[in-house]
Amino acid sequence: MQNVVNRFLQYVKTDTTSDPKSGLSPSTPSQLAFAKKLAEELKQIGLTNVSVDDKAYVMATLPSNIEKKVPVVGFIAHMDTSPDSSGKNINPQIVKNYDGNAIILDKEKNIVLDPKVFPELLKYKGQTLITTDGNTLLGADDKAGLAEIVTAMEFLVQHPEKPHGEIKIGFTPDEEIGQGADHFDVEKFGADFAYTLDGGEIGELEYENFNAASAKVKINGRIVHPGYAKNKMKNSMLIAQQFLNMLPANEVPQHTEGFEGFYHLLEMNGKVEECNMDFIIRDHNRDIFEKRKELFRAITNHLNLQHGEGTIELDMNDQYYNMLEKIEPVKYVVDIAEQAMLDCGVKPIIKAIRGGTDGARLSYMGLPCPNVFAGGHNFHGKYEFVPVESMEKAVEVILKIVEKVKEIESND
């Protein structure tokens, strides 16, 4: 099991931050370089049909070692880290036998991982935690998933006495910017179903997620000398304020939980003449999701009537949908993972994802793909941490899933 830790610590040394503005695929060249390294590692541990394409998608196969025909199962993780925080020069800190007190990440900057703010820390008293040094994210999302999958496959290669069916491995770029499945070749991958190792705390098992859309709002104002501006100036920033005030004040991330959706203002910049706002729109319920988008259109129309046609330009696009619709007909794939966790002594935490994964889009592309825990907490920022014992359990769960799939008769 030490291999999973060593791999993780090695993987986070490479900056694989994705870039939503590059217009490239992969969005950053470091992801392709990392993909090539991973492909070489997969070859070295003994996997076959290892490939990495020019879009940085890595695929590999562990051939079946049994004569019985069973379903082909896949395991998927993403290589990029979020652009929300720096992924450069990550310097992980290892806290052994965590005592339940606050962990000083950066003494000079007074950055502290405190259980008073993050009470989930107390679940891991006595365990070994890997944290940041307070200056970057950690990268457990999703390099923990990468390390867990590779370690599980290495174990199976080294233990040919363990019977298993054919297993497929897939590593994707740009998941953090919603492009992880853009160029994923489901037919080439060749699995009947798969699991993303991209969940959070130990026990998480998810097969519901948000319906998601992005919305770019451009406001065209008019600049005139302020001393002579009466009935002439249109201050785009004040119109932006109107737009924001017409959205429900409490339907934002910081005031919602569970199945509650939200509108989230990601970025805003402007001057009198032009203001731009970038939003994401989220809801688990498809009907409410459509109503949320309709509100954006209604506000746009209202403000254009008030301030003149063309004042507001709205560019809104769907990003992904709730995988529940595609998973329910093959619910047994969730049941396999749930029982695997129980067999490994892990209490399943089955809940809806307040976000999305590659698995959501892949499910709509014909590859049912629930999401399994990778073990980390506080993703996308300097307070991120992952317990070593959770990573080790994730490896065990992968192996147990493989064992259970072996018992299923293939329909082929």
Among 3.30.2320.20, 3.30.67.10, 3.40.50.10420, 3.30.70.360, what is the CATH number of 211-320? 3.30.70.360
Torsions phi, psi for 158 (to 5 deg): -80, -10
Q: Has 325 been annotated as catalytic?
A: no
- 122 to 119, 129, 133, 377, 382: CA distances (angstroms): 6, 11, 20, 12, 18
What number is the average pLDDT over the span 88-103? 97
- Which fold would CATH assign to domain 2-208+322-405? Aminopeptidase (3.40.630)
What number is the average pLDDT over the span 291-320? 97
3-state secondary structure of 290: helix
Encoded amino acid at 378, one letter: N
Contact between 1 and 395 (Cβ < 8 Å): yes
Q: Which of 41, 80, 198, 206 is catalytic?
A: 80
What number is the average pLDDT over the span 60-66? 97
**CB neighbours of 407 closer than 8 A, spacing ≥ 6?**
70
Torsions phi, psi for 249 (to 5 deg): -60, -35
The strand pairing partners of 129, in sequence order, are 95, 387
Q: What global pTM score does this model have?
A: 0.87
**CB neighbours of 131 closer than 8 A, spacing ≥ 6?**
92, 93, 95, 103, 105, 113, 138, 384, 385
pLDDT band at 358; cut points 50, 70, 90:
confident
Tokens of 80: 């990029």
Torsions phi, psi for 399 (to 5 deg): -65, -35
Q: Has 315 been annotated as catalytic?
A: no
pLDDT over 80 at 366, yes or no: yes
Identify how many contiguous H helices and E strands the chain contains and give both numbers. Answer: 10, 17
What number is the average pLDDT over the span 299-323? 96
Give the model confidence (pLDDT) of 197-220 as tens digits.
998 999 999 999 999 999 999 999
Contact between 273 and 238 (Cβ < 8 Å): no
Report the Cα 130 to chain-centroid distance in Å.
19
Ranges assigned E (strand) in 121-235: 129-131, 167-172, 193-199, 204-206, 211-220
Q: Is 345 left (phi over 0), alpha (psi -120 to 50) or beta?
A: left
Predicted pLDDT of residue 189:
98
* Percent of the chain predicted with pLDDT > 70: 99
What number is the average pLDDT over the span 246-262? 96
Query: Which residues in the chain are classed under CATH 3.30.70.360?
Result: 211-320
Give the model confidence (pLDDT) of 323-338 as tens digits.
999 999 999 999 999 9
User: Which of 274, 72, 42, 28 lies closest to 149, judged by CA?
Assistant: 42
Encoded amino acid at 63, one letter: P
3-state secondary structure of 20: coil
Q: Which of 141, 142, 148, 175 is catalytic?
A: 175
